[in-house]
Amino acid sequence: MNAVSLPASPALRLRSSGLLLACAIALVAWWLGRELPLIGGPVFGIVIGIGVRNLFAPGESFNPGIQFASKQILQWSIIALGFGLSLTQVAKTGLASLSVTLVTMSVAFASAWLLGRLLKVHDKLKILIGVGTAICGGSAIAAVTPIIKPDDHDTAFAISTIFLFNIVAVLLFPLLGHALHLSDLGFGLWAGTAINDTSSVVAAGYSYSTTAGDYATIVKLTRATLIIPICLVLAMLVAMREKRAAKHAGVVSDFKLSRIFPWFILWFLVASAVRTGGFVPAAIQPAIHLAAEFMIIVALTAIGLSANLRKMASTGVRPILLGLGVWAAVSVSSLLVQLVIGQL
């Protein structure tokens, strides 16, 4: 018994302070979200988290728990949401949103290339910002980094820029959605196709409404799976370029599909299948959704606690302008496609 418990105990102690801090702030954010539902708990979580991080600067001992909450707990929350969504609904939503997703992805890559040339941003940084905006923010950037092998400061530039517009989207999209009188499904499709990170999509969606949040989550997860073909195409392009440039015949690559595959999406589908099969009693579904909502707030709080405003400001103007231009192009194109196909 001791042999089984020993490995987990140090990890738990290492993460405890950061997890407790994120959960404590999340409780406050959850309460504020109940009092002011137009803003919502996720938005309060990320804003309070940013404030605590930059005003009080929690020590290094908090980082392991904060990082765990921002990644693992977010994935668990998405899986928990799957227990409340039928697989039929997931498949229908994914297929319905695919046309909008493909258009916004094409717009993201085209605008990143064009604006990058105008702003004289080099190719690797253009790819990082384009992929991050087109697919899933920091996760996509992390996935393509071992393929294109950018400098560390380029990766930092891209992640900081993407994160900046994630925060703006969480705060701005619900307000714009209400101003434009978007339906729940229309807003969910807009958020799911035009906001970068899964956490920000979830935050904006559920700040608008539960229906919008459910729809935005499925759309975003469908969009996130496209990182697989994108990475495969990039890997082939890089391999061909290196072969042409290299003196030797082949090239050794550390690219592995298993490393970039978003496994939590598979478990989300499993949870949805369990729900579809009638194995989740209706009586406990509200409790599961409440737990998922709170885990989302904890994850968003942790992301806020990770945000260094000074580092984000120091990334320079050109990457931020590139990120702004690509993000604006994607946001507008998503609304235009929905208007054309009548899904607003």
The model's pLDDT over 28-48, given as tens digits with 9 standing for 90+, comes to 999 998 887 666 788 788 889
Q: What is the largest CA-CA distance in the chain?
A: 66
Q: Is the CB of residue 141 less than 8 Å from the CB of residue 158? A: yes
Q: Is 61 within the bounds of a domain? A: no
Residue 177 CA to residue 32 CA, distance in Å, equals 21
Nearest to 307 by CA among 137, 151, 167: 167
Q: Is 40 within the bounds of a domain? A: no
Report the pLDDT value the prediction gives residue 1, as an integer from 0 to 100: 40
85, two tokens: 């969504």
Q: Is 205 within the bounds of a domain? A: yes
Q: Is 87 within the bounds of a domain? A: no
Report the pLDDT value the prediction gives residue 3, as an integer from 0 to 100: 42
Q: Is 248 within the bounds of a domain? A: yes
Q: Is 23 within the bounds of a domain? A: no
Residue 310 CA to residue 319 CA, distance in Å, equals 15
CA angle at residue 191 from 185 to 195, to 5 degrees? 165
Q: Is the CB of residue 184 less than 8 Å from the CB of residue 208? A: yes
Q: Is 30 within the bounds of a domain? A: no
Exposed/middle/buried for residue 27 (C-beta within 10 Å: 0-12, 13-18, 19+): middle
Count CA atoms within 13 Å of residue 222 on its CB side: 28
Under-70 pLDDT residues of the chain: 1-9, 37-39, 89-90, 139, 152-153, 156, 242-262, 311-316, 344
Identity at 278, one-letter amino acid code: G
Count: domains in the chain: 1
DSSP characters over 138-149 = HHHHHHHHHHH-
Enclosing domain of residue 320: 103-261+309-341
Q: Is 288 within the bounds of a domain? A: no
Residue 146 CA to residue 167 CA, distance in Å, equals 26
Considering the entire predicted model, what is its pTM?
A: 0.68
